[in-house]
A and B are shown apart, each in its own frame.
Chain A
Amino acid sequence: MSIALDQVTKRYQGVPVVNDVSLNVHQGEFLVLLGPSGSGKSTLLRSIAGLTEIDHGRVSLHGRDVTHVNVRQRQVGFVFQHYALFRHMTIGDNIEFALRVRKVKAAERRARRKELLKLVALEGMDDRLPAQLSGGQQQRVAVARALANRPEVLLMDEPFGALDAKIREELRRTIRQIQRELNMTTVLVTHDQEEAFALADRIGVMHQGRLLECGQPDDLYTRPATRFVSTFLGAANLLLGYRTSRGVRFSAAPLAGGDVPREVVAVLRPEEVELCDDESAIKANFVGHGRVEELLFGGAVERLRVRMSSDGPVPVAPGRDGAADTGSLFEVSRTLPEQRGFPVTVGQRVAVGARRIHVLPTPISSFTAVAADATAARQLQDSPLLATLGTRMQTRVATRIGRFERAPPGMPAIATGPDCAAEAEWHLTHGAVQLLCVPPTAALPNHVVIHALDAASRRATLAVAASLLRHVAAEAIYLGIQPATSAETERATYMRDLLDARSSAQADHGLDMRTELRPGAVAEELQKELAAYEHSMLVLGTSNPAAIQRDWLRALLEQSPARPVLIVNSARAETLPEG
């Protein structure tokens, strides 16, 4: 393993900017860290180089733990966005700098300089000053300089950011070529997905300090695991689907025969949408009818927006107009041959088909605020925690007044307070997969406590917690609690189980959390941990909600000050077909 990061965390003024990132980069691999600005990707890169000290975790380079080794001794090459060439030195001196500070002999230095200038195709430029070169040439000098001392890894922080499009593309090709030629382990940071696709063996997508997903470019594009990655890498229509025993349907209408559909989030790429004039002409799966609302000619592809009829698919996020009864808006892109096959105009009614959809494995699909009357439901819907989660997860927060026969699809949310425990119990025994108990004024948590009441619910609990933590910049702790009287061997086995669950959660969801084993009573330990932080939240898993005693639940939900509690019902989750 060329670069190994283990639970790297970096905080600025208490806020984690890099949050529990674990990552391995193989020898010779080109990894691109992709993310919007402020996602922590540069900080992560700098901590690999040692330019930023980390608060927690471990950094290893080629099996050597370098967490506490300073920049000079880490043997990394670093390329900065603004080249950072020494302006008072010639190109040759710039390149030789690393060798000169190591007192390498002049003849050897000169040979290496020549070799490197040839590598970056700048032969004969030795005596120029950086100011006499163009931006692209300067960045190539910076690359040559970074390689001078034969580093073990090459790190590049938005190296093409300051260059114009044409030079950028050319330089990209040069970098890729050099990287292949030297078989150099390389990590490059960028916010440009096109660049990531062009360069990467593997792409790691970062958002809010977390490494959300890491995988081969085509895998990430066709089979993203998270909402963020599906919308950040290319465009995507996110729809609420209903998984039944016969597949995924887009209509929320109840099915005959008591088949209870499970709500899921489906990704429909704009290029996977098929448009025809009639339902019968659709070759792919028919989705519904819609009207063309916008049409943009874009050269090779045409971009359209199609407004679906109101009984059609439900968008995950409410439209900008916010009105519930207008249908969802589909982003569609069509190639020239497709356009020729079926030309459309604005306002035209079309039949819409989906060639391929991808169901996100995320267990959280949408929220429904449940309350006794409309005002209370509205209040709950607008409560800071629920509203922010809805926005961050780009998902719908619906409302429901009073009890129906069954719990609503997705995640019901109820207000904490008196009777909260009874309400929670009803939902959990009437089909809720997850349940969120929200104190009306609670803000987003910065400390999330995860606990599974039984071994069977661990997987599902961690999956939901992972899904939540992708959107919340909080530090997570996975607590195992055992009676203080338990035997030593028992405790060791339990700890091993916890760690296993954690590592499989990391493998499945790319998320990592701290794990701790506490002796004591469950309710007390949880309350103690929650009370230690001002904005804490509990994710509690159970495989048998009926076994939870109401008094126990009441103590947890009705404690003061109230904390948000997310209950995961894995019994319900696991009876459904796996995504």
Chain B
Amino acid sequence: MTGASWFRQSSILPGFGLTLGFTTFFLSALVLLPLAALVFKTTSMTWAEFIDTVLDERALASYRLSFGAAFIAACINAFFGFIVAWSLVRYEFPGRRLVDALIDLPFALPTAVSGIALAAVFSPTGWLGVKLQQYLGLQVAYTWVGVVVALILIGLPFVVRSVQPALVEAQRDLEEAAETLGAGPFTVFRRIILPAVLPALVTGFTMAFARGVGEYGSVVFISGNLPLKTEITPLLIVIKLEQFDYNGAAALGFTMLLVSFLMLLVINLAQSWSRRRYVRADN
């Protein structure tokens, strides 16, 4: 052992200084700087102007749709994404690998393409839209339901991909132990599987939600974009930009940023609190 050993890090990546430098640089250049510019742009407005823009009736309706649809979609994804992940991890069936690969498709597809495809299928003349209209009286395209459908498509891989490894890790013998102790399938699920997978599920939910709030490409084709009804906030921002109302766009962007950040912070804090319960204490 030489005297130089004290600065060696127990990591396979080179040097702490270098990696931290990169981290700081990338965060600054790609995240913080543009965001700061956004905030700075907003400050060129007066308070009154700002409040006017941000609490405008049309803006409020768009917040409701953006956050509400993203929330509903994330909830649905959390439920069905869990089922998809479960069947992929726990069962062996023909075509499992194919299904596994399909999950990632929404990641790769240009969002506009998925939007147009969804609109075609769910539009009142599309082959699924016709049936839904006929039997359930439900119009999907050009309503808020369409927005939710688009966000479900976009958000699903986030949930599946975060839950999958947790399910693989969840030990089979824990379930067996619960069974030998007299627990039925439902109790095993609620008391054993769910607590083990919950942190990952929350992570997946958070990511799906965050992505849903910011989604633009796929939504604008299926939502119909009626002001006060099916207009999402990102679209409103684009509209403001097209009218050269840069300040208004910045103000809306700042609001979204603030709300999203607060929500993510709360979810993360809740999660780290729950995770701390699992982490091995010093022994």
Contacts and interface: CB of A to CB of B under 8 A. Distances in A.
B180 A88 contact: no
A500 to B, nearest CB: 38
A134 interface: yes
B179 A72 contact: yes
A131 B182 contact: no
Contacts of A71: 176, 179-180
Contacts of A105: none
Contact of A131 (B177, B180, B281): B281
B181 interface: yes
B176 A97 contact: no
Interface stretch (A25-33, A77-85, A109-117, A442-450): A77-85
B283 A132 contact: yes
Contacts of B181: 97-98, 101, 145-146, 148-149
B165 interface: no
A82 B171 contact: yes
A80 B192 contact: no
Contact of A88 (B173, B177, B184, B277): B277
A70 B283 CA distance: 38
Given A80-B176, A80-B177, A131-B280, A86 B182 contact: no
Given A131-B279, A131-B280, A132-B283, A84 B176 contact: yes
A500 B176 CA distance: 40
B132 interface: no
B178 interface: yes
Interface residues of A, number: 29
Contacts of B283: 132, 134
A110 to B, nearest CB: 17
A49 interface: yes
Interface in A24-57: 49, 51
Interface in B5-43: none
Interface in B150-185: 171, 173-174, 176-184
B273 interface: no
A131 B182 CA distance: 24
B178 A132 contact: no
A546 to B, nearest CB: 58
Most-contacted residue by chain B among A78, A88, A134, A142 (CB, 10 A): A88
30 contacts: A49-B180, A51-B176, A51-B179, A70-B179, A71-B179, A72-B184, A80-B173, A80-B176, A82-B171, A82-B173, A84-B171, A84-B173, A84-B177, A85-B177, A88-B195, A88-B196, A88-B277, A97-B181, A97-B183, A97-B191, A101-B184, A102-B182, A129-B278, A129-B281, A131-B280, A132-B280, A132-B281, A142-B177, A145-B177, A148-B181
Interface of B: 171, 173-174, 176-184, 187, 191-192, 195-196, 277-281, 283
Given A71-B176, A101-B183, A146-B180, 15 more contacts: A51-B176, A72-B179, A72-B184, A80-B176, A82-B171, A84-B174, A86-B178, A86-B191, A86-B195, A88-B277, A101-B184, A131-B279, A131-B281, A134-B283, A149-B182
Which A-B residue pairs are the 9 nearest by beta carbons?
A98-B181, A84-B177, A78-B180, A131-B280, A84-B173, A71-B179, A88-B195, A132-B281, A101-B183
Interface of A: 49, 51, 70-72, 74, 76-78, 80, 82, 84-88, 97-98, 101-102, 129, 131-132, 134, 142, 145-146, 148-149
